[in-house]
Amino acid sequence: MRPIQLFQLAATQARWLSVRQDVVAGNVANVNTPGYKAMDVEPFSSLLDRMNEGNQTMAADSAMHLVSDDPNDAVKTEPVRDGVTIKPSGNSVDLPQELIKQGDIRSQFELNTGLVKSFHQMMMMTVKS
């Protein structure tokens, strides 16, 4: 019994988290740039929905592809709209908020790699004599 679906989901989440980390890094670096608007990624569930829609016909095929060229799979970024205060300079980055996002990214990533490692080890155990 091989949990391929779990590894696939974990890989997708790891990709989403990496893009989110990149976007947060951009926000933090541009905290003092006039006119810069804070960005974030689309929610994970909306990425999954879009990927599932696109892969209805190629379910078996997609299981083998770890890196896809399908533009459907790219994580979308959008400007932050909820709870945004725009400073006089036109900049909308809230540093504490970005650091909280970073903490979330880290703990989700730790769970992700922890799970992958555990299931991988279990699979390897069953094959070793």
Partner 1 sequence: MSDPLQAAMKVAASGLDAQSTRLRIVSENMANAQSTGATPGSDPYRRKVVDFSSVLDRQTGATEVSVERIATDPSDFTTVYDPSNPAADAKGMVKMPNVNMITEMADMREANRSYEANLQTIKQARDLVSMTIDLLRS
Partner 2 sequence: MIDALQSLSALSTARGLGVSALDTTTSSDAASAAGGAGAATGTSFADTLGNMASGMVGDLRNAEKVSFQGLQGQASTRQVVDAVMTAQQSLQTALAIRDKIVSAYLDISRMTI
Any idea of the CA torsion for 15, 20, 22, 24, to the nearest 10 degrees? Answer: -170
The site for partner 1, by CB under 8 A, has a size of 32
Q: From CA 28, how far away is CA 99, in angstroms rounded?
A: 8
Q: Name which position in 9, 28, 48, 51 contacts partner 1 (CB under 8 A).
A: 28
Which residues in the 48-67 window bind partner 1 by CB under 8 A? Answer: none
Cα four-point dihedral sign 5, 7, 10, 15: negative
Position 1 contacts partner 2 (CB under 8 A): yes
Q: From CA 87, how far away is CA 55, in angstroms rounded?
A: 43
Position 7 contacts partner 1 (CB under 8 A): no
| Helical axes 4-29 vs 95-127, angle rounded to 10° | 160
Which residues in the 70-129 window bind partner 2 by CB under 8 A? Answer: 107, 111-112, 114-115, 118-119, 121-122, 125-126, 129
Position 33 contacts partner 1 (CB under 8 A): yes
Strands 39-41 and 77-79: antiparallel
Q: From CA 81, how far away is CA 94, in angstroms rounded?
A: 12
Which residues of the shown chain bind partner 2 in the complex (CB under 8 A)?
1, 3, 5-6, 9-10, 13, 44-45, 48, 107, 111-112, 114-115, 118-119, 121-122, 125-126, 129
Which residues of the shown chain bind partner 1 in the complex (CB under 8 A)?
14-15, 17-19, 21-22, 24-26, 28-34, 36, 39, 95, 98-99, 102, 105-106, 109-110, 113, 116-117, 120-121
